[in-house]
Structure 1
């Protein structure tokens, strides 16, 4: 039986510079809040089960979805598959 992660289609393409900067600021904020330094607040909200925070973030990023999977869950899956990691860099 397929899970949502099986249906997830990662995008390993290079992100625009401005988006990379916004993600870096997001990761810095998450680290300042005692989170993992390389994780976004969106991913953490999904992983930690912060339903109110996740709902707020998903509302703000309502266009970022794949089928029924919304922004925070997508961010979490992106962390799991190391989507942000350069393809040509060894793991």
Structure 2
């Protein structure tokens, strides 16, 4: 039971993050952390200052200097999907 509630809570948090990302102009199936990593780090030309600042803020909020990168990797590897979708 506890694992089910934990999994449910995780998925709800991911969905809220995806909703916020979509509201701010991002894709509906991507988290803001992943989008921020793409825009602040992976962009080939000079990234905009807002993405670089947001990258530092989000990583700081999670006390993890690699949070955005990990979120992006999770998106690429579809780790947030249920097992039957992977």
Q: TM-score range by the shorter chain?
A: 0.7 to 0.9
Residue from 7, 10, 27 that aligns with 1:16:
7
Correspondence list, 1:1-91, <5 A: 16-49=7-40, 50-62=51-63, 64=64, 70-89=66-85
| Residue aligned with 2:83, SS | coil
Using the size of structure 1 for normalisation, the TM-score is: 0.70
What is the CA RMSD across the aligned residues, in angstroms? 1.8
Distance 2:84 2:13 in 1: 23
**What is the Cα deviation at residue 21 of structure 1?**
1.1
Structure (1 or 2) with the greater helix fraction = 2
Using the size of structure 2 for normalisation, the TM-score is: 0.73
